[in-house]
């Protein structure tokens, strides 16, 4: 009885050691880990954008099935997802005019009026003298 039990234990230990020797462990470069994490984050950002109500409504409006669009999104490579994520970020950033845009517009109008006053085409500001 002991012989059979010890034989079974020996065979099971050797079988575990055979499978364990097939595993290859090596160091991963830090940038590979960072790139993989960035890829996962970009994929989540794009999926969140695609699942928003406005985007879903626009897809339906253009005759595209939102579920099919998400399926196609899942088949994109990591570099394609990163590129798409960057394009979405740029388009969203450019869509908002914001306070900075308003200040820039006011400064631009002021400069145009100032230059036209100096050239003598208008007389808006009393502190300018016309070149004419």
What pLDDT does residue 111 have?
A: 92
| Mean predicted confidence (pLDDT) in 71-90 | 87
User: Are the C-beta atoms of residues 130 and 119 closer than 8 Å to each other?
Assistant: yes
Domain boundaries, the chain: 27-96, 97-132
Q: What's the rounded Cα separation, in Å, for the pair 10 and 61?
A: 68
What pLDDT does residue 109 have?
A: 92
pTM for this prediction: 0.50
Q: What's the rounded Cα separation, in Å, for the pair 113 and 125?
A: 8
How large is the angle between the packed helices 30-50 and 53-61, nearest 10 degrees?
Answer: 60
Number of H-type helices and E-type strands within the chain: 6, 0
What pLDDT does residue 8 have?
A: 84
% of the chain beyond a pLDDT of 70 = 88
pLDDT digits (tens, 9 = 90+) for 24-73: 778 888 888 888 888 889 999 999 988 888 888 888 998 888 888 888 88
Question: How many CB atoms lie under 10 A from the CB of residue 82?
Answer: 19
Dihedral of the alpha carbons of 92, 95, 100, 102, in degrees to the nearest 10: -170
């Amino acid at each position: 009885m002991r012989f059979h039990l010890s034989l079974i234990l020996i065979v099971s230990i050797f079988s575990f050691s055979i499978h364990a020797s097939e595993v290859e462990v090596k160091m991963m470069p830090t940038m590979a880990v960072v790139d993989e994490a960035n890829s996962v984050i970009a994929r989540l950002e794009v999926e969140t954008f695609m699942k928003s109500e406005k985007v879903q409504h626009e897809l339906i409006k253009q005759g595209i099935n939102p579920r099919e669009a998400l399926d196609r999104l899942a088949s994109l490579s990591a570099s394609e997802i990163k590129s798409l994520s960057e394009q979405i970020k740029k388009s969203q950033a450019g869509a908002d005019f914001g306070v900075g845009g308003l200040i820039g517009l006011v400064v631009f109008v002021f400069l145009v009026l100032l230059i036209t006053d100096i050239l003598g085409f208008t007389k808006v500001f009393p502190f300018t003298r016309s070149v004419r």
